[in-house]
Amino acid sequence: MKIAVIGGAGYIGSHTVRELLDRGHTVKVFDNLSSGLRQNLFAEAEFVEGDILSEKAISDFLNDFSPEGVVHLAAFKAAGESMLLPEKYSVNNITGSLNILNAAVSAGVKYFVFSSSAATYGAPKYMPVDENHPTEPENYYGYTKLSIEGFLGWYSKLKNLRFAALRYFNAAGYDVNGRITGLEKNPANLIPVVMEALTGKRKELLVFGDDYDTHDGTGVRDYIHVNDLARGHAEAFEYLERENKDLIVNLGVSQGTSVLDIIRAAEKASGKKVPYRIVERRPGDPASLVANPNKAFELLGWKAKYSDIDTIIETTWRAYQANL
Ligand code: WQD
């Protein structure tokens, strides 16, 4: 299949491009390099630099390529920032996504795979979280993802654009074959911040609270290796082509890991102490957020292969060392 990956120079985007290429798809990448990196690009996938905020740029790209499939991973994802700058998230995440959707319709695209998020659920009412859980996002970032899922439902009904919305839990790790090593600029997520503390790029990790109702008091999350995540995108296309039905699934591994568990794994992998300090809780953080991935397993045949914490941490540490 010909597949356009919008945001394909990014962290998850580049791993998804690699997976699609490995499966023999013809891939082209559209990215504005605002957070994506040229070093994450592959020679086998033609790259077009452009912005999803330019209706002309995105429709020229899709009309020239005329792919059967589109993967959309071009969004801002900092939950905290979205509460301070909702206008930035409205324009980039919502207007940008509508530009892609309209361009996809005009270019006759059939299958649309969308990078959604566990943030669509908001604070968990039960655990593990399955796709029937209420969707009451607690931050504007999560709301933008949920609203785009709503547009996708309408475009499927009105324009026959089949979609799969993949609700990521905590994406982490780096390519197990070491083919991708681009580091996120100014990360906010836990594992890259731990790596920056280990490599001296930042003085210390601030642990946002150790008084949660979890096994060791620190926040528990469901970390999914980015190779497993990328495979979920490829299997979503296979599902859409085979079943011609829409899909909304969680991609997580239903394994809860705490901040202190991550710190210990990072110290084991690096042989160094992680400098950290316990501080106040971060507003909006739930104590624990863990996925029920059974629907993805049943419908896609998807299951995690690399999402054990040691593989996640060891592959991340290797990528950070490659950049020293
Ligand atoms: C993980 C744990 C923090 C940083 C966010 C988005 C979500 C998704 C994944 C895109 C929590 C703790 C973190 C730090 C810390 N993104 N932490 N010190 O908040 O679970 O989810 O990223 O889809 O939508 O909201 O990820 O990595 O920020 O936090 O103690 O410097 O680590 O409190 O318990 P989060 P995170």
pLDDT at residue 45, as a whole number: 98
Please confirm, yes or no, whether 239 is among the known catalytic residues: no
pLDDT at residue 246, as a whole number: 98
Task: Name the residue at shortest CA distance from atom 4 of ligand 1.
Answer: 190
Task: Name the residue at shortest CA distance from atom 7 of ligand 1.
Answer: 119
- Helix, strand or coil for residue 86? helix
Cα 165 to middle of ligand 1, angstroms? 21
Per-residue model confidence as pLDDT tens digits over 292-323: 999 999 999 999 999 999 999 999 999 999 99
Residue 58 has pLDDT above 90, yes or no: yes
Q: For the chain, give the mean pLDDT.
A: 97
Among 11, 89, 140, 141, the active-site one is 141
Per-residue model confidence as pLDDT tens digits over 68-99: 999 999 999 999 899 999 999 999 999 999 99
User: Does ligand 1 come within 6 angstroms of the Cβ of 79?
Assistant: yes
Q: Using a cut of 0.95, tell me whether the model's pTM lies above it.
A: yes
Percent residues over pLDDT 70 in the chain: 100
Q: Which domains are present in the chain?
A: 2-172+223-251 (3.40.50.720), 190-222+254-322 (3.90.25.10)
Per-residue model confidence as pLDDT tens digits over 200-249: 999 999 999 999 999 999 999 999 999 999 999 999 999 999 999 999 99
pLDDT at residue 283, as a whole number: 86
Residue 284 has pLDDT above 90, yes or no: no
DSSP string covering 18-84, please? HHHHHTT-EEEEEE--SS--GGG--TTSEEEE--TT-HHHHHHHHHHH--SEEEE------HHHHHH
Per-residue model confidence as pLDDT tens digits over 22-51: 999 999 999 999 999 999 999 999 999 999
Atom of ligand 1 minimally distant from the CA of 79: 25
